[in-house]
Amino acid sequence: MFAINLLRTITFIGGAAYLIFTQNHSLVLGVNVLLYLATALSIGGLAMLLIPTIKTSMQNLLVPSIAALMVLIFALNSWFGGVTADSRSFSLFNVLVAVLIGSLAATEIAQSFIDSDEDVLELRISGAIGALATLVFIFAPLDIINALGILSAYLAVSAIQRAVWIATAKNKSA
């Protein structure tokens, strides 16, 4: 879990910092950040499958990596098809963000019920943060500024939660 959380923490910090400190809040910026997130999570997750010393379940690596790869393909298709400020492109952006965040949340929640040796509470917390963000992207009436604000808030909160999770000392004797 350490390597997965490190990858996601670094990726989320980069995406959150870019969204927070950029003055331009447009759909093009959102698609660029989505491309960055999907590329880093898919290539990083699939590359971790090749490292034999990483001890984690295939489900926790493979499902989010494949979902991120699919989001990457659809985002690249919309990017090269021409990102416009119409409602169709914005709806596709919301769906792709919801799929990316939702796949991470679903696998973390499922992992918390399957594995007893992992950090169950931390998996459920990060899964709940992701599930809440997914529900916001699916059901809330967002405009582009609100959507990028919610995305940057999710990335920042999730990165901080994962960084604390990584830095917390494990008590193996209990």
Task: Summarize pLDDT for 73-126 with one digit per residue, the tens.
Answer: 888 887 777 666 677 788 888 999 999 999 999 988 988 888 766 678 888 999
User: Is 119 within 8 Å of 125 (Cβ atoms)?
Assistant: no
Residue 173 in any domain: the answer is no
pLDDT for the residue 169: 61
Q: Is the pLDDT of residue 143 over 80?
A: yes
pLDDT confidence of residue 138: 94
Nearest by Cα to 54 from 11, 95, 1: 1
Q: What percent of the chain has pLDDT over 90?
A: 44
Interval 15-22 mean pLDDT: 93
Element (H, E) at 87: helix 87-114
Q: Is residue 118 part of a domain?
A: yes
Q: Tell me the average pLDDT of the chain.
A: 86
pLDDT of residue 113: 87
Nearest CA to 83 out of 35, 134, 120 is that of: 35
Residue 5 · residue 165 · CB < 8 Å: yes
pLDDT recorded at residue 9: 93
pLDDT of residue 12: 95
Q: Is 94 a domain residue? A: yes
pLDDT higher than threshold 70 for residue 148: yes
Task: Name the region of 82 (left: φ>0; alpha: ψ -120 to 50; beta: rest).
Answer: left
CA 85 distance to own-chain centroid: 24
More confident call, 108 vs 172: 108
Q: Is residue 68 part of a domain?
A: yes
Q: Is residue 174 part of a domain?
A: no
Total domains, the chain: 1
Domain interval for residue 25 = 2-167
